[in-house]
Amino acid sequence: MVSSSHEAMHRIFQEDPGVFARTFHTLGLPFPEPVAVSLMPTDLTEIQLLERRVDTLLRIDAAEGDSYLLAVEAQGKKDRGKPGSWAYYVAHLYAKYRLPPLLLVTCQDRSTAEWAAETVVIGPTAWPTLSLRPLVLGPHNVPVFTDVNAAARDIPLATLSAITHGKDPNAAAILKALAAALQTVDEDTAMIFAELTELGLGSAPAAQIWRDLMAVDLSFFRSETSQRLRSEARAMGRAEGRAEGRAEGRAEDILRILSKRGVAVSEQVRERIVSCGDLDVLSDWLDRSLTAEVAEDLFAATEA
């Protein structure tokens, strides 16, 4: 069963896909600066009886013209069967999209992070066939934010830091800095990342510290207690707004990919894409935009 902390770790990348680039820059990792980040479908199922889904999948288009896929996995504990699934993800993504995949694993404790970072060699000892080398973010390399100004400059990265270091002895100072930083941004943004922090901390002792901090202003933050106090109508309205925003973002990604590939898009096709509010349909169109020879190829299966 997927835990709330597992969900929060990869949802940060969905709320702000650009956080990965800033994280890599902070860590001094030599990845090129992206010019576009697209959220991709996460269903990697090929055989109906065996469902496989990566947590978050992003397409990264770099300034130099190179593109690659970033598959984000949140790992809460050691799992002997996981490297086999990761190998499947990487091989399947490369076969499907013909783009180099990068597997990013996020962890909340050092022991799991060290295990996840181990290179996995698949094949006979005499002739290894496949080598899997995940890039791991965890307490060992994600920066600690205890300065309010630093946290305010990058709320998503500060949130990732707070969750990653939730078991740290200095967790209270990290959470206080994030709580103060959230009061410098708009209400909707603050609510999203306050909720992600609460989910990410799960049952850790630091979760109670966070709830106490959030109880200071229940009208501003969406903590566990304030969720019960808000009206159902307001909650539904916000959810609908976020769904609409995701649909608009996915439509923009489709048009961006077609443009980058040099595929002409008529005004009629553009209007059909941007007016579609069905995320499942848009996901199918996004898949087809990677190989479509003409823009109308997006709709072939939809109209069949």
From 121, 139, 118, 123, select the one nearest 131 (Cα to Cα).
Answer: 121
Give the model confidence (pLDDT) of 234-259 as tens digits.
Answer: 455 455 555 566 778 788 888 888 88
Whether the per-residue pLDDT at 2 is higher than 70: the answer is no
Q: What is the pLDDT of residue 101?
A: 92
Give tens-digit pLDDT for 151-172.
999 998 999 999 899 888 889 9
pLDDT tier for residue 44 given thresholds of 50, 70 and 90: low
DSSP character for 298?
G
Structure tokens at 140: 């060992």
Torsion sign, CA atoms 186, 189, 192, 198: negative
Secondary structure (3-state) at 236: helix
Using CA atoms, how far apart are residues 188 and 29, in angstroms rounded to an integer?
31
* Confidence (pLDDT) at 56: 80
Residue 288 corresponds to which tokens in the numbers above? 């087809």
Q: Which of the two residues, 113 and 76, has the higher pLDDT score?
A: 113
Helical spans, DSSP H, in the chain: 4-15, 19-27, 82-97, 110-116, 148-153, 155-164, 171-182, 187-201, 206-214, 224-229, 232-260, 267-274, 279-289, 300-303
Inter-residue contact 37 to 18 (CB < 8 Å): yes
